[in-house]
Chain A
Amino acid sequence: NAGVTQTPKFQVLKTGQSMTLQCAQDMNHNSMYWYRQDPGMGLRLIYYSASEGTTDKGEVPNGYNVSRLNKREFSLRLESAAPSQTSVYFCASSERQGLYGYTFGSGTRLTVV
């Protein structure tokens, strides 16, 4: 099915390790987003890319970097993971700057021990 694909679905890291979360969409959307969701909380925007070649900080960017590799792919990197980054990470994409809705992936559940 068309949509947003996130890999991996689950990951356990040790404090200080690095990893990259991958996201790809096949809907030809211009804009892509990374969110995190802590238990019992709403989603918080980490970074977004309004179009290919641009990235901007969201509400909680500290400790993360992003790369908009091409129109389809938007990756999120944790350079030195911390327990506070234990969360579920969602990638999303949209066209028309999101007016007609965002499409979300199914999430990556990350635990940092």
Chain B
Amino acid sequence: DAKTTQPNSMESNEEEPVHLPCNHSTISGTDYIHWYRQLPSQGPEYVIHGLTSNVNNRMASLAIAEDRKSSTLILHRATLRDAAVYYCILFYNQGGKLIFGQGTELSVKP
């Protein structure tokens, strides 16, 4: 499984945008980019995924570099409830399994 690299931790202020980076220089053409988050004492929660184009949903936006070697998860207005560990995972569509790395711990200050 291809690897991803994320910062260990990031801080944000409430109601400001947050950009969470992820590097995946060994990504293959069949790998999707998935993001999950895990709130304290809860199971992980699916956030968003994409292949080549930028994606938006009610939770976040995913910006994918043109060469697909990096991506950024964007939370448009951080709230205190967004404090969590965010995982960027490369997912092989045909029989792939989610393999978690260390993730980025996001803290949100009021």
Contact = CB atoms under 8 A, between A and B. Distances in A.
Interface in A73-106: 90, 92, 97-106
Contacts of B94: 97
A58 B97 contact: yes
Nearest to A44: B100
A92 B86 CA distance: 17
B41 to A, nearest CB: 8
A106 to B, nearest CB: 6
A99 B43 contact: no
A9 to B, nearest CB: 11
B43 A90 contact: yes
A98 B91 contact: yes
B97 A104 contact: no
Contacts of B44: 43, 90, 92, 102, 104
A42 B93 contact: no
5 contacts: A35-B100, A59-B99, A99-B49, A106-B42, A107-B43
